[in-house]
Amino acid sequence: MPEPANWVETASASDAITAISSPPGSAARGIVRISGDAAFAIVNERLVEGKLIARRGVQSVRIAVSICGQRVDVPALALVMVAPQSFTGQETVEFLVAGHASLLTAVVHALCDSAMGAMCARHASPGEFSARAFLGGTLSMEEAESIALSISAESDSQLDAARQLRAGRIRQIALKAAEEITGLLALVEAGIDFSDQEDVVAITAVDLAAGIAAVQDDLSAAVNQTTPEESLRALPVIALRGATNAGKSSLFNALLGHERVVTSPQAGSTRDAIVETLKLNRGREALLVDLPGIEDPQHALAEQMQQLAQHAFDAATLQLNCVPISIDAKAMSGTRMMTVWTKSDCADNRSLAQAKVQGGCMTSALNGDGIDELREALTAAIDDGGWVGGARLAPVLLARHRTALADAQTLMGQARDAAQACANAGRRGAEPAEIIAMELRDALNALGIVAGHRTPDDVLAALFARFCIGK
């Protein structure tokens, strides 16, 4: 892949690019995309028998490719997109052919083979189609970043995060803050322009400090309701908690499918938290934590261990309250809690019936009853609940968002402190006002990165490099 700076320049070029745009492997259909100012001319000269009609829509065509040194005519569907009404804003054609890898490669080769003439396409770099869309104004920064998240998504929660990013929730936060700062800046600059007129006071230092503080509070509150991007990659945590000898460690081993923890009829066998990666259904994974049993601590060390275990349980994504089914207890449930009845193999019919009425999962680590059902329930709770990192998924905050917002808040803090100092000293003058205005303008520039007004080339290069070829 080209170096980032050169890559951005390449992405803005108008020459035709092509790539396989369907997932790797065999399938009923595969897609080859070509886009650029001369895409139609290249297709007609090199690939399509007859002439492709330069009209928006789907056309049935035959294409000529070389496979094992022999010319082969292949039927295809051509999806024609006329500039600027295409994803990239340029002439674009997508060929739908049989999804065999060798055939798709042959189509790309036919479009790129320089031996067939000077007019040819070149292989697209990762993310170059999307980069052209962004640089051409048909794709916003949030939409581009949401594509990157969608490509790498491994769960429904991550797909939902991509959807929320595409909706521009973070951008709206930045725009609202920028609008409020702009209003304050206008008043400050009005005071600078008319500083020689004693009867003109655009805004007092006290009101300015209060106004800046209010914007800071609103921005902090909005940011606190977001999900950091790195949390999307964090595995959810499932913690087992219950009284001593409730069968937690046996359940822990049963879910893992192997003996990881030593179990014993003697209470208090587990003294420390034990963590293992649990493979759930549909390719999902979680961190499974076996915590010490709840007991009345007899000394300071035991009390500290109980406190640490409780903190770990409270912070878990999903909390499994483990209760032996023979004990007369009420099921506990909540948005993050599930009751798991253990030792169903040694329960009588009355206890079984009572637990069934209360709800929860009935399990036996000894004979495996209910383990598969519990695994499915855990998978569904993580998928359907949208839980990531112990909290319900909020609008995703990308690393560049966090940096820009932090810079904006720092600059606004400096402006607030300067305004407060003027208020405390009872000063009024052009010099403090100009310093405050400068800080506010810099804060606006930082927010502009979030709002999409400013996007450095290195940010673009890093973003689109995360894309796969063909996107």
**79: pLDDT strictly greater than 90:** yes
In this predicted structure, which of 351-355, 392-396, 465-469 has the lowest mean pLDDT?
A: 392-396
Q: Is residue 303 part of a domain?
A: yes
The Cα–Cα gap between 420 and 208 comes to: 8
pLDDT band of 4, cuts 50, 70, 90 = very low
CATH number assigned to the domain comprising residue 26: 3.30.1360.120
- What pLDDT, in 10s, does the model give residues 394-437? 566 777 788 888 888 888 889 898 888 888 876 555 557 788 88
Identify the domain boundary among 321, 356, 388. 388
pLDDT higher than threshold 60 for residue 12: no
Using the predicted structure, report yes or no on whether residue 10 has a pLDDT greater than 80. no
How many degrees, rounded to 5, is the angle at CA 55 between CA 53 and CA 56?
135
* CB distance 73 to 62 below 8 Å: yes
Checking if the pLDDT of 17 tops 90, the result is yes
In a shared domain, residues 125 and 246: no
Of the two residues 86 and 247, the one the predictor is more confident about is 86
Residues 383 and 258 in one domain: yes
Residues 12, 132, single domain; the answer is yes
122 with 258, same domain: the answer is no
Mean pLDDT of 463-467: 61
The tokens 């007899």 sit on which residue?
298
Beta-bridged to residue 281, according to DSSP, are none
Amino acid sitting at position 94 = E
CATH code of residue 345: 3.40.50.300
CB within 8 A of 331, min separation 6: which ones?
323, 339, 341, 355, 358, 359, 360
Name the residue range of residue 95's domain. Answer: 4-136
70 in a structural domain: yes
Q: Is the residue at 162 inside a domain?
A: no
Domain shared by 131 and 241, yes or no? no
Alpha carbon distance 426, 420 (integer Å): 10
Strand partners, 318: 238
Residue where one domain finishes, among candidates 368, 388, 408: 388
411 found inside a domain: no
Could you give the angle at the alpha carbon of 303 between the alpha carbons of 300 and 307, nearest 5°? 140
16-25, 142-151, 190-199, 359-368: segment of lowest average pLDDT: 190-199
Q: Is residue 216 part of a domain?
A: no
**pLDDT averaged over every residue in the chain:** 77
107-to-75, 95, 155, 469 alpha-carbon distances in Å: 12, 9, 33, 15
Residue 222 clears pLDDT 90, i.e. is over it: no
* Sheet of strand 237-242: strand arrangement: 274-279, 285-290, 237-242, 318-324, 337-342, 361-362
Is residue 324 over pLDDT 80?
yes
244 lies in the same domain as 118: no
- Count of domains in the chain? 2
3-state secondary structure of 31: strand
Plot region of 55 (φ>0 → left; ψ -120 to 50 → alpha; else → beta): beta
**Could you give the CA distance from residue 458 to residue 38 in angstroms, rounded to a whole number?**
28
- Distance, in Å, from the CA atom of 272 to the CA atom of 354, rounded to the nearest integer, reads 32
Q: Would residue 27 count as lying in a domain?
A: yes
Q: Check pLDDT > 70 for residue 264.
A: no
Residue 466 lies in a domain: no
Residue where a domain stops, chosen among 90, 117, 136: 136
**CA distances (Å), 160 to each of 167, 234, 235, 287, in order?**
11, 15, 16, 21
More confident residue, 422 or 351: 422
- The pLDDT tens digits of the residues spanning 44-68 come to 888 887 777 888 899 998 888 888 8
Contact yes or no for 223/275 (Cβ under 8 A): no
Q: Is the pLDDT of residue 9 over 60?
A: no
Backbone angles phi, psi at 117, to 5 degrees: 145, 165
Under a CB-based contact definition with an 8 Å cutoff, are residues 251 and 278 in contact? no
Could you read off the pLDDT of 287-316 as tens digits, one per residue? 888 877 665 555 555 566 656 666 666 767
Q: Please report the pLDDT score of residue 271 as a whole number.
A: 52
Do 241 and 353 share a domain, yes or no?
A: yes
Say how far apart CA 426 and CA 367 lie, in whole Å. 79
Q: What is the pLDDT of residue 363?
A: 85
How much is the pLDDT for 392? 44
253 located within any domain: yes
